[in-house]
Structure 1
Amino acid sequence: MIRILKSLALLLIVATAGLPALAQDAVFETPALNTGLGPVPDRIDRDTPRAAMASFLRAADDEDWSAAAHLLDLGELPPSRQAAEGPRLAHHLYDVIDRKAVLDWSALLNRPDALQIQGGDTEATAGDPRRSLLLRDLPLDVAPVEIRLNRLQPEGTDQPVWVFPVETVRHVPALHEMYGPSQFELALPEAMRTKTVGGLMRWEWIGLPVLIVAAVLLGWTVHRTLRLARRHAQGRIATGILAASSKPLIIASVTGLIWWVTSNVFVFSGRIDVFLAPAIATGFVTAALLFIVSSIEALLNGLVAPGEDVDLTLAKQAESRVLATRLNAARRVLVVVVFLIGAGVVLSSADLANNLGLSLLASAGAVTIVLGFAARNVLGNIMASLQIALNQSARVGDRVVYKGELCHVERINMTFVQLRNWDSTRLIVPVEEFASETFSNWTLQDPAMLRVLKLKLDPHADIDALRRVFDEVLDHVATLEIGQNLGDLDGSSVNVAEQDIFGIEVWFSIPCADPNSSWEVACAVREKLVARAAQMERDSGTPIFASAAAAGAA
């Protein structure tokens, strides 16, 4: 037992002794570090990543660029030039970081070995000492440039330090040329470049509102110009393309102005650029994809669609109704595909996770949950709209009875169905609700149908005489203009359907060829039938209508 305990103790001592060596190995060895800069000032702390970055920012705020230069590895410069070039490079690097890098201080640990304790299996570097930390990737020419902090250990020293490596320092001039202050900004008075509230310079508080006003004016000008061009355009396709390109061109022009100004005139600091960069990427992608969708819709409407002058409610337009509904389905598929492509392009090009510094957004699962929860109603309506368009349960132009309302399906949009009532009023129904409710489609399958007039009559009424009168009324209506919508008159009938203490209920069945006009036909027949029945009552003296059951008539 004693031998086993001694063995375990020996293993523990060996493992413990190896930990410092493991941490010590997590460094980059270098022959020397900034020998041309002289002693490191007391204000510079390079022991941990957080202390090194904080020292760099404090020295920059005080414009002590000589001290800030000690945070850069100037190994590619001769020692004789380090004292002269180092402060300038430190100044330029600070300009780039201040304008384009939003620091995630949680990643800059206050440990010499930068060992990340939390994370477990979900973090690849958890539990391991690190010698290099990525702060930001910035596009430059062909490949992006990494802004990093590396842990270096010069020869002959026992204390490693955290500095910006030579791989970052060598690209500082090019980065500053692209992301540093513009010539316009450098020409401003020093007072305008002084930082004020929120860490923003005075010119930023003035330049941002000016940029917004200029973008609004440009968008308004483009809108007016396109509207004037649309008025003078000839041809349905040309007019449609101009109308379709209106919004994309407005968005593209406004986004282009903001992009050009923020790249060449007003290079805003990171606190503003963190929102502008994703907004610019979103604007360009939205304009491009919206133009594609709108142009395809305009071409489909001009080359394939039935046309605005075609009455889809007519029976002879059955094929046009199917075509219009299938075009709606194609639009929905196109919009969904374009939305997914656009979302992917925006998320990748805008680099939202790095720009915003939110580790939560870097998780694909979290993004899916957030977007799915926020857009569940919209996505539900879109999928219900696509379902209706594909299964053809309700087509554009169909006559339907929805919640007791007799309507035509006028439009099936992405999120709502537009129904036109008999009095030309519109009923707007969310697509998901419309698809989940039971409705009657009079036009589906066989368009021919029977309209039934339900009249409450006196038990002493002469049904045979009323049957003859009904046939005469149908023959008369058939000679009128509306009579062309009557079906085969052999299908007409008169039946006593019910009876109660108030009288008998007689059903007069009218064959109709077109359900879209059946209501008007039924109204015309009802009018003439009631008039003839009233005349019979006066002539014979025998009651026909039930005196106490007027409310029962339909």
Structure 2
Amino acid sequence: MIQFRTLARRGASLRRITPLLAAFLLCLLALPVMAQDGSEYWYETEALNPGLSGAASAEVAPETPRQSLREFTAAAGADDYDKAAHYLNLSRLSPDEQAQEGPEIAMKLASILARRVWIDWSSLPARPDARIESSQDSSGRAGQPRRDLHIETLEAGRSAYDIRIARYKPSDADAVWLFTPQTVANVGPLYAEFGPRRYESMVPDTLKRRLFGLWLWEWIAVPAFAFAVFLLGWGTYSMVEAFSRRVSRGWLKAGLDRSALPMAMLVMAGLVHILLTWVISFSGPVQTFLRPALTIVMVWGVGMTALRMLDAGLHRITLRYVGDIDDKLGRDEREFYTSIYALRRLIVLVMVGFAAIAILSQLNLFESVGTTLLASAGVLTVIFGIAGQAVLGNIVASLQIAFAKPIRIGDAILFEGEWAYVESIFYTFLRLRTWDHRRIVVPVKHFVGQPFENWSVTEARMMRGVHLWLDPLCDLDALRKTFDTLRHEDPDITEPDEAFTYVTDQRPEAIKVSFYAMMPDPSTGWAIHCRLREGLLADIRDNHPEWLPRERILDVAEPEETMSAPAHRAGAAD
């Protein structure tokens, strides 16, 4: 009995506790719902734009970001700015100011969007919670809702202004997507920077309609502006070339002549920038194309003009202190010439780096480009590894030559059987000039990977030999005297005592006699080499023609019986 009463009391206690446990569990289950009503899904507010009234108040209820921007642009396109004002969060204005300034702010914002923003409708979420659905999103918020979206960032007066939309839920209505109060505050400075220019008031209203995403007047103005800019560029190019022909200084003339095209492109880009800033403003699609194009052209024009003028100056310096490229230059002059080319390559690399940084910073591409590169690093590595292997290898080999200097500009080399001078060393190839003024272009990587003779690595002088095949019965002492006479009489041989005469090879029909002499440099040595050969051959021809090699045939008569036996046998057979 006692146990039964104890169990009964415990059962009664459990019945009293069960409702409490159920209530606690319901509270736990309700927490996500309560969180959904909080700051994660929307911004809570008492009321939205109480100063705006009219029939549009009941019609405006954009549930998604895409719907909000689509209805706002549609209302602005129909010049219904009273309705367009309902898509703005005017909470920072008083009710009276909302009614007076709301339509005007909507008109200005619509003008800014039309002129500076190319809306990517496919990227705008069509869900009320703007949830990120892509699993490849780099922000780490895939699958999470959003209550705030960034549309565009515009720079005006050295300041950056954001255009954003956000989700707001008043206490007595459903949540809607509107332009944020900060965006409304940014309309003033943005409109002053990107609003209509003074000459746009001259455009007839009939041409202010849309056709394939552009205004009608843009289809007329863009080709006309392009033609005018082309004429200005052509005129600039002609003026620079005409001025270069009248300049007396050679380096300035060469610099202006090579800088005509980049200067013309720079003037063309500058004119377009002035037109867009002070004369007229195009719509978003045109601005989206022109803005990066102008930035790239202006950076390229400035960089190429500076680089080509610098090239002309460096060339002038080398001609003044070094002279023409040949093997008569001293080692210091050739090294100085090579250092000048290495300096040029370094300047080009630095300028390309600064130009890339300037373009990326002006176009705000660091974030997007960095994200794309990180997202596809493996694919890009494979592509650049395959496609750019030869180019990168040549650049690395060129830098290796610039620092190690196994060859210098002006060195005389023997490469794959060709005697040539190193005329230029570029990023990916070398240009060699042969003694007969032919040009051989060799990839740097191939050149570094092949053996070659550098006849000027320490000094220009070299020992050259004249090789003659003569009869074994020739008198070597007489040949030595003839060679001594020729080398002492030659005016270009500066060291006549450094000479040798040797028999360097032997065959049954002839011997090879080599006459060696010291030459001051390869080019002069080649001429001396030819003169010595001609003199030796002339002396042998005139005084000792029997020393020239000849073929000997031994004619040994066979025994008579050997010759007659076959005939006798043949006669017997007959």
Question: Under TM normalisation by the shorter chain, which class is it?
Answer: 0.7 to 0.9
SS in 1 for 2:522: coil
Deviation at 1:424, TM superposition (A): 1.3
Kept in 2, the 8 Å contact 1:450–1:511? The answer is yes
Which residue number corresponds to residue 162 of structure 2? 146
Find the aligned partners of 2:238 and 2:423 in 1 and give their Cα distance.
31
SS in 2 for 1:125: coil
Deviation at 1:42, TM superposition (A): 7.7
Kept in 1, the 8 Å contact 2:90–2:181? The answer is yes
Does 2:318 match 1:305?
Answer: yes
Does 2:191 match 1:191?
Answer: no
Deviation at 1:20, TM superposition (A): 3.3
Which residue number corresponds to residue 31 of structure 1? 46
Kept in 1, the 8 Å contact 2:327–2:411? The answer is no
- For structure 1, which segment, 461-470 or 418-427, has the greater mean C-alpha deviation from structure 2 after superposition? 461-470
Deviation at 1:139, TM superposition (A): 0.7
SS in 2 for 1:92: helix
Choose the corresponding residue for 1:113, options 115, 122, 129.
Answer: 129
- For structure 1, which segment, 38-47 or 366-375, has the greater mean C-alpha deviation from structure 2 after superposition? 366-375
Kept in 2, the 8 Å contact 1:488–1:511? The answer is yes
Kept in 2, the 8 Å contact 1:23–1:129? The answer is no
Find the aligned partners of 1:254 and 1:65 in 2 and give their Cα distance.
38
Choose the corresponding residue for 1:338, options 346, 351, 360.
Answer: 351
Does 2:179 match 1:164?
Answer: yes
Find the aligned partners of 2:446 and 2:477 in 1 and give their Cα distance.
47
Deviation at 1:265, TM superposition (A): 2.9
Find the aligned partners of 1:282 and 1:78 in 2 and give their Cα distance.
46
Stretches of structure 2 that go unaligned for 5 or more consecutive residues are: 1-21, 554-574
Deviation at 1:436, TM superposition (A): 3.1
Deviation at 1:423, TM superposition (A): 1.3
Does 2:238 match 1:233?
Answer: no
- For structure 1, which segment, 412-421 or 337-346, has the greater mean C-alpha deviation from structure 2 after superposition? 412-421
Choose the corresponding residue for 1:180, options 191, 195, 198.
Answer: 195
What number of residue pairs does the alignment pair up?
A: 528
Choose the corresponding residue for 1:320, options 330, 333, 350.
Answer: 333
Equivalences for residues 441-520 of structure 1 within 5 A: 441-476=454-489, 478-479=490-491, 483=492, 486=493, 488-500=495-507, 503-520=510-527
Which residue number corresponds to residue 532 of structure 2? 525
Which residue number corresponds to residue 360 of structure 1? 372
Does 2:72 match 1:56?
Answer: yes
Length-normalised TM-score, structure 1:
0.83
Does 2:451 match 1:438?
Answer: yes
- For structure 1, which segment, 524-533 or 336-345, has the greater mean C-alpha deviation from structure 2 after superposition? 524-533
Cα distance change on mapping 1:421 and 1:39 into 2, 3 Å: same
Which residue number corresponds to residue 551 of structure 1? none
Which deviations, in whole Å up to 9, do the C-alpha atoms of 1:157-201 show, x marking residues without a partner? 3x221111121112224323322332333321233222223x122
SS in 1 for 2:36: helix
Find the aligned partners of 1:87 and 1:42 in 2 and give their Cα distance.
17
Does 2:220 match 1:206?
Answer: yes
Cα distance change on mapping 1:379 and 1:343 into 2, 3 Å: farther
Cα distance change on mapping 1:439 and 1:191 into 2, 3 Å: farther
Which deviations, in whole Å up to 9, do the C-alpha atoms of 1:218-262 show, x marking residues without a partner? 222222323333344354665566557645533321111111112
Find the aligned partners of 1:114 and 1:278 in 2 and give their Cα distance.
30
Find the aligned partners of 2:85 and 2:131 in 1 and give their Cα distance.
26
Kept in 1, the 8 Å contact 2:199–2:279? The answer is yes
What is the identity, as a one-letter code, of the residue corresponding to 2:45?
Answer: T
Deviation at 1:326, TM superposition (A): 0.7
Deviation at 1:327, TM superposition (A): 0.9
Which deviations, in whole Å up to 9, do the C-alpha atoms of 1:382-402 show, x marking residues without a partner? 443332222222211111122
Does 2:95 match 1:79?
Answer: yes
Kept in 2, the 8 Å contact 1:251–1:284? The answer is yes
Find the aligned partners of 2:540 and 2:217 in 1 and give their Cα distance.
88
Which residue number corresponds to residue 544 of structure 1? 549
Which deviations, in whole Å up to 9, do the C-alpha atoms of 1:100-140 show, x marking residues without a partner? 22334454222222222434783243344322111111012
Equivalences for residues 386-401 of structure 1 within 5 A: 386-401=399-414
Which residue number corresponds to residue 4 of structure 1? none
SS in 1 for 2:192: helix
Deviation at 1:148, TM superposition (A): 0.3
SS in 2 for 1:517: helix
Find the aligned partners of 1:520 and 1:537 in 2 and give their Cα distance.
25
Find the aligned partners of 1:97 and 1:366 in 2 and give their Cα distance.
37
Deviation at 1:330, TM superposition (A): 1.0
Does 2:236 match 1:222?
Answer: yes
Which residue number corresponds to residue 571 of structure 2? none
Stretches of structure 1 that go unaligned for 5 or more consecutive residues are: 1-8, 549-554
Find the aligned partners of 1:33 and 1:391 in 2 and give their Cα distance.
73
SS in 2 for 1:315: coil
What is the identity, as a one-letter code, of the residue corresponding to 1:418?
Answer: R
SS in 2 for 1:47: coil
Cα distance change on mapping 1:163 and 1:492 into 2, 3 Å: same
Which residue number corresponds to residue 252 of structure 1? 266
Find the aligned partners of 2:355 and 2:100 in 1 and give their Cα distance.
48
What is the identity, as a one-letter code, of the residue corresponding to 2:163?
Answer: I
Larger Rg: 2
Deviation at 1:207, TM superposition (A): 2.1
- For structure 1, which segment, 245-254 or 272-281, has the greater mean C-alpha deviation from structure 2 after superposition? 245-254
Length-normalised TM-score, structure 2:
0.81
Find the aligned partners of 1:183 and 1:377 in 2 and give their Cα distance.
54
Find the aligned partners of 1:150 and 1:193 in 2 and give their Cα distance.
31
Kept in 2, the 8 Å contact 1:297–1:331? The answer is yes
What is the identity, as a one-letter code, of the residue corresponding to 2:424?
Answer: R
What is the identity, as a one-letter code, of the residue corresponding to 1:446?
Answer: E
Choose the corresponding residue for 2:418, options 400, 405, 420.
Answer: 405
Deviation at 1:324, TM superposition (A): 1.0
- For structure 1, which segment, 247-256 or 361-370, has the greater mean C-alpha deviation from structure 2 after superposition? 361-370
What is the identity, as a one-letter code, of the residue corresponding to 1:74?
Answer: L
Deviation at 1:61, TM superposition (A): 4.4
Cα distance change on mapping 1:120 and 1:396 into 2, 3 Å: closer
Which residue number corresponds to residue 136 of structure 1? 152
Kept in 2, the 8 Å contact 1:398–1:516? The answer is no
- For structure 1, which segment, 399-408 or 60-69, has the greater mean C-alpha deviation from structure 2 after superposition? 60-69
